[in-house]
Amino acid sequence: MDAPILATKLYIPPPRPDLVKRQRLIERLDEGVRLGRKLTLISASAGSGKTTLLSEWIHTLGAHRDAPLQVAWLSLDEDDNDPARFWTYVVAALQTVHPQAGQSMLPMLQGPHLPPARTILTPLLNEMAALSEPVVLVLDDYHLVTAEAIHDGVVFLLDHLPQQLHLVIATRADPPLPIARLRARGQLTELRADDLRFTAEEITAFLNGVMGLGLQPEDVAALEARTEGWISGLHLAALSMQGREDTHAFVEAFTGGHQYILEYLIEEVLSQQLEPVQRFLLQTSILDQLCASLCDALTGDSDGADTLKRLHRDNLFVVSLDDEGRWYRYHHLFGDLLLKRLGQAVPPEQRSELHRRASRWHAENGLLEQAVKHARVAGDFERIAQIAERAAGASLLDARLTALLRWVDTLPQDVLRAHPRLQIYRAWALYMNGHLEAAQQALGDCRQALETLPPSPENDALCRTLIRLLDIIDMIAQGFMYGVDNKIEEAVRLCSQARDLALEDGHVFLAAQATEGLALAQYHQGRLRASAQSCQQVIDLAAQGAAQAPLAAAGYVELAGIHIEWNDLEKATDLLDEALALCREWGIVQTLNEAYTAQSHLLQIRGDIEGAWEALEKAREFGSMEGDYSLVNFRLAAQQARLNLAAGEPEKAARWAEGMLAAFVSGRQLPAAFVETLQTTLARAYLAQGEAEEALTALEPLLGPAEAASAFLHVIEVCALKALALHALGDTSTALAELERSLALAEPEGFVRVYLNEGTPMAALLRQAAAQGIYAEYVNELLDGFRVCEYGRVGETPILPHAHTPTLPDPLTPREREILHLISQGLSNKDIAENLVIALNTVKRHASSIYSKLDVKSRTQAVVRARELGLLPLTSRSEPSA
């Protein structure tokens, strides 16, 4: 449902043949670019010739410069007050000169939540800085921008403008940008009303030269005085005087301010037109842009093409918007006055009819935004409902429902009630945008609306279809909430049922969403294998429709989380890369956040602490606006707590957990999964500070509810932590009993990281378990895991201080360090490949990269050099510690 880019907004108006050359102004414009100033501001009232001057300048640029400037043009309109739309058009304008410009920022602009301006613009500015040729970006009619968020973005743009980019803003009123500062620093070229005014010579050249009026000098002087050199006034005056005998009397007759002169002159110009042309002008004045078939749809005639061409030829304030002579618009001033006259000359119901026709034409031609806009002016909400309903039918399949919400939210209640299907779509859009409570409310309203439909065969059929759709959406929404709230079995039941019903009815998107909920619930059940299968099903379902990539991305992130738990870090890396690529391509901000959070965890495990913090920062940039209690933001904060713990700052992690829990105590309902994460974070912080008693106290209330709800993921984790606390208190036998309880649940599903993440104390405890033959095989596998991931253990300082690696100009990656470590233990490439479960060729590739980074030729040299650099311990074999 993305609005198509209107090429007409990017079209640089061609210079008119009947122009007076404005050399002095052209030179000022040239100077601004030549001196490398940041901004050219052309600020003057309507009809001062701003656009015309820019058009003339741009078309003379090639003629008198060695390297012609490239110019990107954007004509703004009222609809551009949506920041996402504004920046999308800025990118589209820049792409007319550099086809790849800003490609990477487009996805961010299409998601439901717009990131802050600096996030959106930084990649673009970097691209621009790398250009070899300078580019001028023209923003015409900037006075139509009123959105504070856009001004903020433009301020950011100006503050960080690279040398290669020059901004030109044409506006009727000074924009709220730091104009004074730029002026003081000599970074501004300014053309204002005084500069644009026609001089006496220019007036003579225009009236007598271009328009061929043959006026006397005193009449020219009088016109200059009356119009104050105001170009549109002169233009209209000249049009009125063409073919008139008594030009002197005409000049004498008008006086007053611009508005008065304008109305007077337009009256004059209009009255010279034939009646059909007058009618055409009035009727089409409601349009932002005109083309022949659209005009015909409004007037009911078939001569739109001829009329437009003639108006353009006669210079009747029609501006051509493309090279093909397809789209035109009225000069703003003229259009505004025509519209005003339409208001006076035509009764409201006829005006509404014109808007209805315009709406119909735009809808038929796929220009839905315009169709909705005209329907709204016509007060035809039924039409908006129909347009939205049709658009929603298609977009229920993809996640881009923001525009739909915007349209529907302007509808009066009674229209909305009459369109139950639309209400359901609206509820779904709310749900997909993360407004869970509003979605629940909307679903309830839908049910009520359906119940009050008068009974009839059609209505009954409609009701049956829609109630089923409602049920599916309801089940999914409920299922997601139950999944994180210790009603897991209920969640599994609801999501499975919703998935089956949705598949039966062919709602693939809904089916994928339900399966996603199922995967989440199964994960909390500790059923990693089943959850992985469900994730894969989400990905497969999503692959059935091109527009469902957002769901696939979410599936990849969840699946990556499971592979992290299995300690299959290579696979997890691949899955996250897949998810990130999809998110960037599709602008799925929320999932981007989750993917970066998962990546942070992964990098932390691999020992790349710096990378982990960076990933967390990126996640934060794409943070959800739903507050601290959204799943996305919660996961992000939890990962930060993990990093705090690893950095030896347990008090920071504890402060976060306590703060969140305090809010919980004060009445806020926190889902059980959140409470579990908070209490275990607290327990880890206590353990790190040697307060095992407190850790036990934090863990104690979790076990009962988790077991009752068969939330075995939590049971496994809580029992493992309890075991550590008991062990720290010296109660080894109870500790081993708790550990055994944890292992019994974890072993069948292959949990690994839940133990490895706890570091040295867990390794010690597991060795004791191995000695007593508790799950000996599984425990030995876990102990092997400790050996392999020696370098990047979570929760403690790596054996090899991280600070050593940067002494290499090109530091080793975590994987390379891992392989180097195995080389130093005397393993052959083949052994390493088996050990790490990767291809032999991959090992060889890593090895040759290690050699080149260490500047050595053989394995032996590599080990010696690595010891010198402190990349390996000085002893020949490193045993698992503790």
Q: Classify residue 767 by its DSSP letter.
A: H
Does residue 177 interact with another protein by CB under 8 A?
Answer: yes
225 belongs to the binding site for another protein (CB under 8 A): no
Give the nearest distance from C-beta 262 to another protein in angstroms: 16
Cα(402)–Cα(622) distance, integer angstroms: 17
Instruction: Reduce the secondary structure of 401-457 to three states and give it as a string.
Output: CHHHHHHHCCCCHHHHHCCHHHHHHHHHHHHHCCCHHHHHHHHHHHHHHHHCCCCCH
Q: How far is the CB of 117 from another protein (least distance, A)?
A: 15
Find out whether 99 and 576 touch, Cβ atoms under 8 Å.
no
**Contact set for another protein, span 307-326 (CB under 8 A):** none
Handedness of CA 517, 520, 524, 528 (dihedral sign): positive
Establish if 277 lies at the interface with another protein (CB under 8 A).
Answer: no
Exposed, middle or buried, 143 (CB in 10 Å: 0-12/13-18/19+)? middle
Stretch that binds another protein, among 143-151, 380-388, 476-484, 565-573 (CB under 8 A): 143-151
- Residue environment code for 814-847, b if the CB has 16+ CB neighbours within 10 A, otherwise e: bbbbbbbbbbbeebebeebbebbebeeebbeebb
CA–CA separation, 351 and 284 (whole Å): 10
- Binding to another protein by residue 172, rule CB under 8 A? yes
If one asks whether residue 180 binds another protein (CB under 8 A), the answer comes out as yes
Please pick, from the candidates 7, 67, 129, 173, the single residue that binds another protein as defined by CB under 8 A.
173
Residue 160, interface with another protein (CB under 8 A)? no
Is 193 an interacting residue with respect to another protein (CB under 8 A)? yes
Q: Does 156 bind another protein (CB under 8 A)?
A: no
Which listed residue (30, 79, 174, 267) binds another protein by CB under 8 A? 174
**How far does the chain reach from its first CA to its final CA, in angstroms?**
59
118 or 143, CB closer to another protein? 143
Stretch that binds another protein, among 29-37, 190-198, 611-619, 831-839 (CB under 8 A): 190-198
Shortest distance, CB of residue 21 to another protein, whole angstroms? Answer: 24
Closest distance of CB 170 from another protein, Å:
11
* Least separation in angstroms between CB 29 and another protein: 18
**How many Cβ atoms sit within 10 Å of the Cβ of residue 648?**
12
> What one-character-per-residue DSSP string does 771-796 give?
HTTTTHHHHHHHHHHHHHTGGG-TTS
Residues binding another protein: number (CB under 8 A): 23
Least spacing, CB of residue 177 vs another protein, in Å: 5
Query: Applying CB under 8 A, which of residues 107, 162, 178, 880 lies at the interface with another protein?
Result: 178
Asked if residue 437 binds another protein (CB under 8 A), the reply is: no
Q: Contacting another protein (CB under 8 A), which of 148, 382, 451, 777?
A: 148
Contacting range for another protein; rule: CB under 8 A; set: 142-150, 339-347, 503-511, 626-634: 142-150
Residues 525, 711 contacting (CB under 8 angstroms) = yes
The residue range among 51-59, 96-104, 172-180, 872-880 that interacts with another protein, by the rule CB under 8 A, is 172-180
If one asks whether residue 175 binds another protein (CB under 8 A), the answer comes out as: yes
> Segment near another protein (CB under 8 A), from 64-72, 189-197, 222-230, 839-847?
189-197
Q: Choose the stretch contacting another protein; rule: CB under 8 A; options: 57-65, 169-177, 585-593, 651-659.
A: 169-177
If the CB atoms of residues 54 and 401 are measured against another protein, the closer one turns out to be 54
At 197, is the secondary structure helix, strand, or coil?
coil
- The token duo for 861 is 């040299």
Q: Are 330 and 317 within 8 A, CB to CB?
A: yes
Rg (CA), the chain: 35
Q: Quick check: helix, strand or coil at residue 70? A: strand
Q: CA 78, 79, 82, 85: dihedral to nearest 10 degrees?
A: -130
* Residue 172 or 326 with smaller CB distance to another protein: 172
- Decide: is 149 part of the binding site for another protein (CB under 8 A): no
Helix or strand run (H / E) with residue 334: helix 332-345
Q: To the nearest whole angstrom, how small is the minimum distance from the Cβ of residue 333 to another protein?
A: 15
161 forms part of the interface with another protein (CB under 8 A) = no
Cα angle 578-580-582, degrees, rounded to a multiple of 5: 70
Tokens of 740: 């055994």
Are 512 and 473 contacting, i.e. CB atoms less than 8 angstroms apart?
A: no
Binding piece for another protein, criterion CB under 8 A, among 147-155, 459-467, 520-528, 712-720: 147-155
Q: Which residues are CB-neighbours of 21 under 8 A, at least 6 positions away?
A: 56
Q: How far is the CB of 171 from another protein (least distance, A)?
A: 8
Which among 245, 198, 267, 193 has a CA at the least distance from the CA of 226?
198
Task: Choose the stretch contacting another protein; rule: CB under 8 A; options: 170-178, 404-412, 469-477, 741-749.
Answer: 170-178
In whole angstroms, the minimum distance from the beta carbon of 150 to another protein comes to: 11
Residues numbered 42-101 forming contacts with another protein, rule: CB under 8 A: 43-45
Give the residues lining the site for another protein (CB under 8 A).
43-45, 143, 146, 148, 151, 155, 171-181, 190, 192-194
